Structure 1
Amino acid sequence: IVYDPDERLNKLADEVDKEAPFSRLTLFSPCKINVFLRITNKREDGYHDLASLFHTISLGDVIKFSLSPSKTKDRLSTNVSGVPLDDKNLIIKALNLYRKKTGSSNFFWVHLDKKVPTGAGLGGGSSNAATALWAANQFNGSVATEKELQQWSSEIGSDIPFFFSHGAAYCTGRGEFVQDISHPLPSDIPMVLIKPKEACSTAEVYKRLRLDQTSNVDPLTLLEKISRNGISQDMCINDLEPPAFEVLPSLKRLKQRVTAAGRGQYDAVFMSGSGSTIVGVGSPDPPQFVYDDDDYREVFLSGKLQVV
């Protein structure tokens, strides 16, 4: 008989963990790119129908959740300025939504370690909301299914349901209809993301969108070709680029500069979402000009796509 005190302590700890609900949770909240983004229709409710290949990448935020002794209010803190800390923030909206749907009485202290820039077209806020819903459900004994969380999330944001996918999905409707796609891109494909100082107003971009000037390529054709042949410039269509370039002419110049400076090293250069991030896919090396120009201080590298 061998007495192992460490093993005994580990077993005791396991028993304690079973009996006591956990009180802290730290989660990674990845952002996304739109490999292509077709706008197919304007709806009667004022929203637009889209068809897009969403893909998570290795850039993301870290969110720490702790159960709060308060039974009346969540408390949110963050490492950057300019992020709302009240119910304008999608994290707080998500926690309120979860309590509304389930009757949970849990409130939280939340710290957001923000890495994803705002106003970038990368869905950082939507990802944070999905992460908050998932966390709240864990603290509440996982009483809701992930499908339910996904359906509820569309009530507070069109991009949020995507973040309950496996990491790559063909999204339609306002973005709330999510079809998982199996590994459309190599998981180790490198990319460079450049976010200029100026942000694009999504509302202003859509205001300038003219449906008669969008692409006429079938989005399912784009999806099939990318899944079969990989990413290429002619597949990365974003119907929001022309209106975004009207709103922010410097964004068009940035895309042109990245394409020219890359000298063929990028398989594709495109804008993600409604801007203002320009993505270069296929090389881990930023163009030289970003090192020399103070206008481009937010440059990010992604070397591994987040797919489960």
Structure 2
Amino acid sequence: MTSALESPDAVTARAPAKVNLELFVGPLREDGFHSLSTVYQAVGIHDEVTAARADEWGCTVSGRDAERVPTNDSNLAIQAARALAERTGGQDPVHLSIHKEIPVAGGMAGGSADAAAALLACNALWETDLSREDLDAIAADIGSDVPFLLHGGTAVGSGRGELVTAVLAKGRYHWVFVPCTGSGLSTPTVYEAFDARTAGSEITDPVPSAALMSALRTGDPLELAPVLDNDLQPDAVGLQPQIGEIIEAAMGFGALAAIVSGSGPTVAILAGSTEGAIDVAVALTASGVAGDILRATGPVHGAHVLPTARLL
């Protein structure tokens, strides 16, 4: 019997964006990636992916920044669906319809969210019944953030970010996100700037900070704010100075903290309450510093199949 969570012809899954509460960058590994220690938090901005049976593989994109998202095999959702099909011995083609709310190339893992949602949608559509551990292994091959977005919540990422361990965390946190205008920042470009800035310095394998772990156990945003940290922030700001202006303005308008999300350019602003988040968002808009603002809370659940399919 087909469950209420899936359709014989189409399945829709939803996946959240992420913010890095902490991002420490270690030395370059033999595979070309840096070793990382990061603390992820999933936040309530979501993309949806509908996988529908089709005669050939395909992809369409709607919603935020849709024109900036590739619809060929470079799309991470397509890569995820094809990888799952190969892992399970070959499956009939699907057409993926992606509806975006997560900023593109903003350091919030929108492409990785689409991949996570595609994995769950196709897993349900094809009734492959892979375990979450099996899906994690496929996800890790697609991208460093994809495994976390399958899990959600708050978690430590190690390795290149793909090894995920849940964190004991309390509380609900209120975020304001300001996607910087322009074409975004290329993650490789930001890491190249980091490498140039730290050349000649001794860089050791990073570990999560005790201060952040302790703050998360309190559930108090006032404890969390001063320990948010991102090794890539100086490089992102250097490449796109507007980021620094937004951070400075947000702090002047009463934010508890403001930090670059991932490799940028989105600025993640921590507020103390719903009202505080609204006040900061309004002030940033009124001042002309930012016109495009998103609000969300975290942590939220990871990727999940929706009760009904929504064809876009």
TM-score of the superposition, structure 2-length normalised? 0.83
In the other structure, the counterpart of 1:8 is none
Higher RCO (C-alpha under 8 Å, 6+ residues apart): 2
- Which residue of the other structure, out of 14, 33, 39, is the alignment partner of 1:53? 39
In the other structure, the counterpart of 1:268 is 257
- Which residue of the other structure, out of 234, 238, 241, is the alignment partner of 1:246? 238
In the other structure, the counterpart of 1:255 is 247
In the other structure, the counterpart of 1:147 is 133
CA distance in 2, matches of 1:131, 1:302: 19
CA distance in 2, matches of 1:113, 1:33: 20
How far did residue 138 of structure 1 move? 0.9
Unaligned runs of 5+ in 1: 1-14
CA distance in 1, matches of 2:17, 2:163: 18
How far did residue 17 of structure 1 move? 6.2
- Which residue of the other structure, out of 166, 177, 191, is the alignment partner of 1:206? 191
**Structure 1, residues 89-145: CA drift from partner, whole Å, max 9, x if none?**
111111111111112322212221111111110001101101101111111223311
Matches for 1:107-122 after TM superposition, within 5 Å: 107-122=93-108
Alignment length (residue pairs) = 286
Say if 1:261 and 1:288, in contact at 8 Å, map to a contact too.
no
**Structure 1, residues 52-106: CA drift from partner, whole Å, max 9, x if none?**
11011111112222222x1x42343434212111111111111111111112322
Q: Which moved more, 1:81-90 or 1:283-292?
A: 283-292
Say if 1:196 and 1:297, in contact at 8 Å, map to a contact too.
no
Unaligned runs of 5+ in 2: 303-312
Would you say 1:85 and 2:71 are equivalent positions?
yes
In the other structure, the counterpart of 1:74 is 58
- Structure 2 vs 1, CA of residues 22 and 194 (structure 1 numbering), >3 Å: closer, same or farther? same
Would you say 1:284 and 2:284 are equivalent positions?
no
In the other structure, the counterpart of 1:7 is none
How far did residue 208 of structure 1 move? 1.1
Q: Which moved more, 1:209-218 or 1:197-206?
A: 209-218
Say if 1:122 and 1:273, in contact at 8 Å, map to a contact too.
yes
How far did residue 21 of structure 1 move? 6.3
Read off the aligned partner of 2:188 and give its amino acid letter: A
In the other structure, the counterpart of 2:159 is 173
- Give the percent of matched residue pairs that are identical in Structure 1 and Structure 2: 24
- Structure 2 vs 1, CA of residues 221 and 37 (structure 1 numbering), >3 Å: closer, same or farther? same
Read off the aligned partner of 1:196 and give its amino acid letter: C
Say if 2:16 and 2:152, in contact at 8 Å, map to a contact too.
no
In the other structure, the counterpart of 2:29 is 43
